[in-house]
Structure 1
């Protein structure tokens, strides 16, 4: 099969770097400069992307289009593409929920949709993110070939559109929220002059709770006392002028496990099932 022409919508820091990797196995990588900022123009030039004047030209020339933009813009961008009846492969690689991915699929009936989710940092300076894919097997195979032997690793999750988006957001929900929790914890400790001691305590544990899902059941059986503890911590944050909503929301989540108090037989499946019930 001949090398495809690829279009990137729109080349931000992640999009431009991913597009540059695609250029390894593509005839050309296009981007639409119409209405874009000076920073976008400079970034696209730095990564060797080929500018075109209009979206219509990009779509007419491209076999594969990769959408990597701010999540809020994903559907509007897909609507713009829908107006041109693009008949190639559209990689919806934004950090959006599976339902939104399905809506975008419905917007593009003439297009082959591949659901994508990038986990990791932009592929520069030795970084090697993974692009997770789900969708029609022949289309995901084309995307795998596009990134073969590049810094973008690919993993196919199956043929169901939405799986890649679900994995991306499942991971992001932990990674992003955990960093905000770090800010709150250190901010609270700093208010009382014990921030360095907090860091020392935390440094004794380096594993991620995300890799230990069996701990969920242990959390559930302790929720009856952890919830009030977090309410106390939320009050402490509020007194320090720091936002308390995240800890109050966590306490509210723990309340769903209140009737699991000290249930030593509770399993992970049981705990997750209870969490899904109001």
Structure 2
């Protein structure tokens, strides 16, 4: 099979790294410069992505398009693509709930073939090997498996039903991301009473506990602007299944207190906990 041309929407830290992996088995990986920041331009250049003037050109030249953007923008972005009557494979790889994935598929079909996806793990840089879970038409998921074959992005096909990949992504995110929020609350409470070091001593006896990694709280704070909406999506999925969503909504509300710490790599643990206590 000829190497496809791939388009990435939009190359954030995860999207750019995933797109760079796709480049190993693609003839070219495109991204649209229109309306994007200087940081996006720099990041895309670092990962060797090819700029095009706008979305119409990207869609016209691409065989496969991968959507990796903040959850809140996923549907609007898909609507923009649908208006251009894109006819290739559209990988909806955002952290959205299964019902939204199905709505997006309905927007794009029958012109495009839609694959539901979700990235589980950290961006594929510095030895990280995330898994791209996939569900959708077999021929299309096979093309995506081939696209990432031999790269740092592993793939796992869950079947042909749109929504399965999104469900697995959010099921994992529900535990993983909420657990990080609970670490911040536990350490914050312990610090208030002067027993934070004692808490760490107890937690260190369980090396599989997030409580033994308090330094991760600063990373959680810096990523809260993305994680909060993701947990809201997971909460919607729980509600749709008749399960209580309050825990995840509460975690999202906690993350919102860190909104102004967006991508702050200089944040300390003390700063993060202070912002949590006094937003």
For 1:1-278, what aligned pairs fall within 5 Å after superposition?
Answer: 1-109=1-109, 110-207=111-208
For 2:248 and 2:133, the matched residues in 1 are separated by: 31
SS in 1 for 2:48: coil
- Structure-2 change in CA distance of 1:148 and 1:34 (3 Å): same
* Structure 1: unaligned runs, 5 residues or longer: 210-244, 251-278
Query: Once the 2 structures are TM-superposed, how far is the Cα of residue 133 of structure 1 from its aligned partner?
Result: 0.4
For 1:143 and 1:247, the matched residues in 2 are separated by: 31
For 1:248 and 1:198, the matched residues in 2 are separated by: 26
- Structure-2 change in CA distance of 1:201 and 1:93 (3 Å): same
Query: Once the 2 structures are TM-superposed, how far is the Cα of residue 246 of structure 1 from its aligned partner?
Result: 5.8
Query: Once the 2 structures are TM-superposed, how far is the Cα of residue 203 of structure 1 from its aligned partner?
Result: 1.8
* Structure 2: unaligned runs, 5 residues or longer: 211-245, 252-279
For 2:37 and 2:128, the matched residues in 1 are separated by: 26
Query: Once the 2 structures are TM-superposed, how far is the Cα of residue 248 of structure 1 from its aligned partner?
Result: 11
Q: CA RMSD in A?
A: 1.8
Query: Once the 2 structures are TM-superposed, how far is the Cα of residue 205 of structure 1 from its aligned partner?
Result: 2.0
For 1:69 and 1:42, the matched residues in 2 are separated by: 17
- Structure-2 change in CA distance of 1:184 and 1:65 (3 Å): same
Residue by residue, what CA displacement relative to the aligned partner does 1:170-198 show, whole Å, maximum 9, x if unpaired? 10011111011000001001111101111
TM-score, normalised to structure 1's length? Answer: 0.75
* Superposition misfits of 4+ residues, deviation over 6 angstroms: 247-250
- 8 Å contact 2:178–2:248 — kept in the other structure? no
Q: Larger RCO: Structure 1 or Structure 2 (Cα < 8 Å, ≥ 6 residues apart)?
A: 2
Query: Once the 2 structures are TM-superposed, how far is the Cα of residue 206 of structure 1 from its aligned partner?
Result: 3.1
For 1:23 and 1:246, the matched residues in 2 are separated by: 39
For 2:72 and 2:248, the matched residues in 1 are separated by: 26
TM-score, normalised to structure 2's length? Answer: 0.75
For the pair shown, the structure with the greater C-alpha radius of gyration is 1
User: Which residue number in structure 2 is paired with residue 275 of structure 1?
Assistant: none
SS in 1 for 2:157: strand
